[in-house]
Amino acid sequence: MKTCCRLTIECPTKSVGKRNSVYNEIILDGMHRLPKKYSDRVIKYVCNNIESNLFEETSGNGDKLLLAKLVLEKHSKYCSDNVFTVLEESLASYTPSRAKDMYQRRLEIRNDGYFADWSFWGDLQNELLDKLPNHRMSNKTKDLLSVLRRKYPRGADLYLYSGGRYGSVKL
């Protein structure tokens, strides 16, 4: 008996894979395991909505981008040039929806007399652009990655989590 299946990466409902960590993890894990002939579809799905499609929160591995890194590492090698260009541009231009709030909070803390030097842009780019094949990257992306490596010599930590409890300490 021969079994045949049709791959559909576009989700049938808006709720699947959209801001649901469990669905995202299942989808990303499945994409990582797909053969390279599906690379264009996988990368298009990733680029469709980076904020909703790339993050995992419940896996317990400590890195919200681990599965995304695996997916990009594999499929960015085999996708078409046009799709790779869209991927590069999507990653390089991504700004978290909470960037404005993060920056505003940073300014408020500075105005209170404290020093706040946390990042609000570049963490994702530093983590994910590094997973793309260097020989396919444009010079603009290579330059951006070079700047980000200087900004984050020990790596970015915005998308890392420990799963433990944490809080702030006031003096």
Q: Is residue 10 part of a domain?
A: no
pLDDT at 165: 47
Distance CA 9, CA 120 (A): 31
Domains: count for the chain = 1
Q: Is residue 167 part of a domain?
A: no
The total number of residues shown for the chain amounts to: 171
Distance CA 108, CA 6 (A): 52
Q: Is residue 2 part of a domain?
A: no
DSSP code at position 63 = B
pLDDT digits (tens, 9 = 90+) for 24-39: 889 999 999 999 999 9
What is the extent of the structural domain holding 114? 21-151
Question: Residue 104: which region, alpha, beta or left (left: phi > 0; alpha: psi -120 to 50)?
Answer: alpha
Q: Is residue 48 part of a domain?
A: yes
Q: Is residue 127 part of a domain?
A: yes
Q: Is residue 110 part of a domain?
A: yes
Q: Is residue 124 part of a domain?
A: yes
Q: How far is CA 56 from CA 9, 24, 66, in A?
A: 18, 6, 8
pLDDT at 117: 61
pLDDT < 70 regions, the chain: 1-19, 106, 109-120, 161-171
Q: Is residue 63 part of a domain?
A: yes
| pTM: predicted TM-score of the whole model, two decimal places | 0.76
